[in-house]
Amino acid sequence: MKFQTPKGTRDLMPEDAARMNYVRSVVSRVFESFGFAPLYTPAFESFELLGAKGGLGEAVKDEIYYFKDKSDRELGLRFDQTMPLARVISSNPQMPKPFKRYAVGTVWRYDNPQAMRWREFWQADADIVGSSSIVADAEVIAAACTCLEKLGFKDYSIRVNNRKFLDAKIGKSVDKEKLPQIFRILDKLDKIGEEGVRAELRKIGCDKKEVLAIISDKSCADADEDIVRLRKYLKPFGFDKRLQVDASLVRGLEYYTGLVFEVSLGKNVSCGGGGRYDDLIGKMGGQATASVGISLGLDRVAEVMKEERMAYPKREVVFVVNVDEASRLAAIKLGQELRAAGIDCATNVTDRPMAKQFDSAESMGARYVVIVGKDEIKSKKFKLRDMETKKQSEKTLQQIVKAVE
């Protein structure tokens, strides 16, 4: 019997997992440097929350992992991290505002898997709850830009539009009840192309010229007041030149109310987005609370880093080899002393002879090997071999620590 990962999921093997760990650690650290505090929520929520009108809407059932538990309760794996945040805020009105939160975790969407699109993926969110100022919009964008800068990206942009602008442009010519559905269709432009969007709009009777103009005319007025102010407040962060105004950007989620933005990497790979959702918490039963947030799709970020062969720091690993069984205890002790000194260290956990231990060190990518035998134990000087240069020298514990650092 041969088992495979479920459709739309994948295993991250050690090298890819190490890269992902690095990306997660950098993003978390950057968000904390902006004053965002961690807040984590369950992997699954009640479908009543996920499908709430004014949030993701009932239609989201086809786009999420929906199920019933043994007590017949309707549940779903979280589609994003904004709806759970809205639940937390509406349930805890006493929380001081503005509240700045970040979360790094997995989300699930029942999409059709394709290149860089999975059904399970890592997402990092930063949100500011309780501020209507465009300074808050600028700050969440600046935090995302700083993440990409710290990871080594040079070629990226932030596409921006205003849902108020879209409402004014097409709202007069169509039934307002259909606006959420229209926005969902327009949001598929990058996936299904202009003809696909036109076909879906025809099906719902909304292929009007005012709507279709959004597809071809991407030159939204740069004079839009909110966008002008956003660029102004991004300037002191140093990211105003990253902003690109795009009238075709809608973001398909129903809860957006103002500025919306999307993060694009050099190859036109979308790796995140967000916007302002001032009405969501009020619709979830809480007090009306102005809010804005952004999310980064970390799987895509890591995948582009891999494709572009972007370097990232790796901690050097030391492998301690015991010459024989008599030196095993001393080798284990030395490994523990190296760890106490802050050195990543592996020791032999098999009965393999010395030559085979070198094979293990090489297969795990250890940069250094420390050899422990009877003579080394007596002299307290151990052979340190650099696996890249093949050079070998005798060093004390302290000298090994210094050399590896």
Q: Is pLDDT of 194 > 70?
A: yes
| Residue 251 φ/ψ region, left for φ over 0, alpha for ψ in the -120 to 50 degree band, beta for the rest | left
Give the up-direction half-sphere exposure of residue 365: CA atoms within 13 A in the CB hemisphere. 7
More reliable by pLDDT, 38 or 252: 38
CATH architecture of the domain covering 317-404: 3-Layer(aba) Sandwich (3.40)
Highest mean pLDDT among 75-79, 172-176, 185-189: 75-79
**Over residues 15-21, mean pLDDT:** 96
pLDDT at 372: 97
Give dist(CA 375, CA 362) in Å, integer. Answer: 24
Q: How confident is the model at residue 347 (pLDDT cuts 50, 70, 90)?
A: very high
Q: How confident is the model at residue 203 (pLDDT cuts 50, 70, 90)?
A: confident
pLDDT at 369: 97
Q: Is pLDDT of 230 > 90?
A: yes
pLDDT at 173: 66
pLDDT at 134: 97
**Over residues 228-237, mean pLDDT:** 96
* Peptide bond just before 98 cis, omega within 30 deg: yes
Helix, strand or coil for residue 137? Answer: helix
Q: pLDDT (tens digit, 9 = 90+) per residue, 273-284?
A: 999 999 999 999
Q: Is pLDDT of 67 > 70?
A: yes
Sign of CA dihedral 110, 115, 116, 121: positive
Q: Is pLDDT of 222 > 60?
A: no
What is 14-307's CATH topology? BirA Bifunctional Protein; domain 2 (3.30.930)
Q: How confident is the model at residue 186 (pLDDT cuts 50, 70, 90)?
A: confident
More reliable by pLDDT, 100 or 267: 100
Q: Is pLDDT of 221 > 80?
A: no
pLDDT at 374: 96
308 burial (CB, 10 Å; 0-12 / 13-18 / 19+) is: middle
Give dist(CA 21, CA 184) in Å, integer. Answer: 33
pLDDT at 324: 95
Residue ranges, comma separated, of all CATH 3.40.50.800 domains in the chain are 317-404
Q: Which H or E run contains 334?
A: helix 328-340
Q: How confident is the model at residue 212 (pLDDT cuts 50, 70, 90)?
A: low
Q: How confident is the model at residue 218 (pLDDT cuts 50, 70, 90)?
A: low
Structure tokens at 386: 């650099």
Q: Is pLDDT of 50 > 90?
A: yes
Return mean pLDDT, the chain.
Answer: 90
Give dist(CA 243, CA 234) in Å, integer. Answer: 9
Among the ranges given (16-20, 220-224, 248-252), the one the predictor scored with the smallest mean pLDDT = 220-224
Q: Is pLDDT of 195 > 70?
A: yes
Residue ranges, comma separated, of all CATH 3.30.930.10 domains in the chain are 14-307
pLDDT at 78: 97
Give dist(CA 276, CA 260) in Å, integer. Answer: 6
Which residues are paired to 174 by β-bridges? none
Q: Is pLDDT of 216 > 70?
A: no
More reliable by pLDDT, 163 or 228: 228
**Over residues 158-183, mean pLDDT:** 75
pLDDT at 312: 93
Q: Is pLDDT of 188 > 90?
A: no
pTM beyond 0.95: no
Q: Is pLDDT of 299 > 60?
A: yes
Distances (CA, A) of 312 to 37, 193, 245, 302, 366: 25, 35, 32, 11, 17
Q: How confident is the model at residue 55 (pLDDT cuts 50, 70, 90)?
A: confident
Percent of the chain with pLDDT over 90: 74
Give dist(CA 390, CA 314) in Å, integer. Answer: 20
Q: Which amino acid is at 300?
A: R
pLDDT at 281: 95
Among 245, 244, 299, 274, residue whose Cα is nearest residue 143: 274
Q: pLDDT (tens digit, 9 = 90+) per residue, 360-395?
A: 999 999 999 999 999 999 999 999 999 999 999 999
Q: Is pLDDT of 320 > 60?
A: yes
